[in-house]
Every structure is written in C-alpha cells, then in structure tokens.
C-alpha cells in the first residue's frame, strides 16, 4: 500500500514492463462506437518505448467487437501473446488490440491509438478532455515560462533569431526549448510546409523549412497556433530543434543535445 493516498505505485513485471493504476475515467471510440469505457485503467510502460499506453480490464471493453487477429503482428510490443482485430461500424481494424503475457496484466487489453500507430481507436478521452497521440505520463512535467533571457539562434553562421523575451519550455526528458516571438525571427529565411505533428501536452504544431544553403534538417522550425491550455504562453511563438541549430543563451553557446529526435532530423 502507498504511504500516502496520492503516492505513485509503479510495479514491475518479470518481462520488464512497468505499470500502475490510474484513477482517470478513460473512454476510447472508433467513430461513434464506444469500444472502451473504463474507470480502472492501468498505465503500462514498455522497455523500448518512451511513452505509456493504457491497458483495460476486459469487463470494461467491448470484447464482442474483437476477433483473434488473422495476421498478428510480431515484435511491436513486449512479449505480446494475442492480437485482436476490431470489427466496428462496418469496418475492420487489424491488430487494434493486444494482451501482454505478464501475469499482472493477464485480464487486461491494450489498444492502439490511431494518431500514433496509424490504426486503432481514433478518439480517446480522459474525463471530458480529448487526448491525442498517447496517454499523458503522470511522471512527466511540461512547463512554459516567460523569460527575459537573451536567446540567439544561428543556422550555418546566419543569425535567424535574437530575443530578450523568449518563453522557455521545460519538458521532462528533453532539452529546454526556446520559443521566440515571430517579430524576433527571420521568418523570411524559411518556407512553410504542410507537415504537422500532434502532442498530448502541447497540441498540434505547424512547421517551416530553412530556405538557405547547408545541410539543414527539414521542418527545423515549428509553432503552436492553438496550444493546449497548460502551455498557453507558447501560442504563436517559434521554436527550433536545439539538436540541429546553434543557440547562445545569455552569450554562452549551448552544446547541441542528443535526443530521441536526433536520428530523425535529416536534410
């Protein structure tokens, strides 16, 4: 038993999975059909994945909509034993759900989230708030803090941003991101792209490419036009991948960090 009512109670399985109960009411839908309606979900972390998924008691899942998968996947999840196809709304979603072999999780079913895996349930709610991409990690913080620090950003020796009014975004496990007002960015040196990404902590981002010379990764610059309330101070501001640009903070050049994004940043 936890020492305090709100103390985290993370447990480990022999397979290397971490899990803990969540007190959130979670629902998952495929179109207009509610497939999951759970008041007893578990958050599960797999060893090789940086974000959690939910697993739900079978009695809180529409198991009548699940069929043993005709073409079960291998290698995507930690020791997963059984995959299920989902039949809902006249359509079939292959490998939409699975079970973990761990004894602690034997009576639970996990589901793919469409915006993360490209298939699965397409709408998820925690209480009355819709959540995108993946569940939020209760052990992770994201703080957006206005600052007066001097931030300068260069690409290939060209200054592209210079501000004394950034918003610093601190996110657990990632380097500080420096969000700069548009008036302090040489946006004329960039071209808007049709690329976008979603984040359950920040919202949907739009991107720009560097239009100058040099081997600069695509979509190096981004902005949240309508961020989620928790990071409202970054609204409309612009940020660069620290991994691929040169940043000076109060006159001190920062080293380029190596992060989970580094390998995907390619010209």
Task: Round the CA-based radius of gyration of the chain to a whole number and report it.
Answer: 21
pTM attached to this predicted model: 0.83
15: domain range?
11-131
Residue 91: pLDDT over 70: yes
Q: Are residues 180 and 77 part of one domain?
A: no
Q: Are residues 124 and 147 part of one domain?
A: no
Query: Phi and psi for 214 in degrees, rounded to 5?
Result: 105, 160
Asked if 201 and 171 touch (Cβ cutoff 8 Å), the reply is: yes
CATH code, domain carrying 201? 2.170.150.40
Q: How many residues does the chain have?
A: 267
Average pLDDT in the 236-246 region?
A: 97
Q: Which of 103, 131, 159 is the last residue of a domain?
A: 131
Q: Are residues 87 and 57 part of one domain?
A: yes
133-168 confidence digits (pLDDT tens): 889 999 999 999 999 999 999 999 999 999 999 999
User: Most confidently modeled of 67-71, 93-97, 181-185, 213-217?
Assistant: 181-185
Asked if 229 and 200 touch (Cβ cutoff 8 Å), the reply is: no
Q: Residue 235 burial (CB < 10 Å; 0-12/13-18/19+)?
A: middle
- Total domains in the chain come to 2
Contacts for 252 with CB less than 8 Å, ≥ 6 apart: none
Token pair recorded at residue 231: 């990071």
- Strands 42-45 and 177-179, bridge-based pairing: unpaired
Q: Are residues 108 and 210 part of one domain?
A: no
Residue 125 lies in a domain: yes
Query: Phi and psi for 231 in degrees, rounded to 5?
Result: -125, 35
94-111 confidence digits (pLDDT tens): 999 999 989 999 999 999
Q: Are residues 166 and 81 part of one domain?
A: no
Average pLDDT in the 99-127 region?
A: 86
Q: Are residues 213 and 156 part of one domain?
A: yes
Closest listed residue to residue 234, CA positions, set 220, 224, 222? 224
Token pair recorded at residue 125: 């709610």
Residue 75 lies in a domain: yes
Q: Are residues 107 and 175 part of one domain?
A: no
């Amino acid at each position: 038993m936890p020492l305090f009512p709100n103390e985290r109670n993370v447990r480990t399985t022999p397979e290397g999975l971490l899990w803990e109960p969540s007190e959130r009411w979670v629902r998952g839908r495929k179109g207009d059909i509610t497939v999951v309606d759970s008041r007893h979900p578990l958050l599960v972390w797999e060893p090789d994945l940086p974000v959690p998924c939910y697993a739900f008691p079978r009695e809180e899942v529409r198991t009548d909509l699940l069929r043993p998968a005709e073409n079960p996947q291998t290698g995507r999840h930690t020791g997963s034993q059984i995959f299920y196809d989902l039949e809902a709304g006249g359509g079939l979603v292959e490998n939409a759900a699975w079970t973990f072999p761990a004894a602690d999780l034997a009576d639970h079913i996990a589901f793919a989230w469409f915006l993360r895996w490209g298939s699965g349930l397409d709408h998820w709610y925690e209480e009355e708030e819709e959540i995108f991409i993946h569940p939020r990690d209760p052990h992770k913080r994201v703080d957006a803090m206005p600052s007066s620090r001097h931030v300068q950003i260069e690409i290939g020796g060209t200054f592209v941003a210079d501000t004394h009014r950034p918003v610093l975004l601190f996110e657990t496990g990632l380097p500080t991101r420096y969000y700069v007002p548009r008036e302090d960015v040489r946006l004329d040196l960039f071209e808007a792209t049709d690329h976008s990404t979603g984040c359950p902590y920040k919202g949907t981002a739009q991107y720009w490419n560097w239009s100058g010379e040099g081997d600069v990764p695509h979509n190096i610059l981004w902005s949240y036009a309508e961020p989620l309330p928790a990071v409202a101070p970054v609204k409309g501001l612009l940020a660069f991948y620290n991994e691929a640009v040169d940043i000076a903070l109060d006159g001190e050049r920062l080293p380029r960090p190596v992060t989970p994004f580094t390998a995907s940043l390619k010209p």
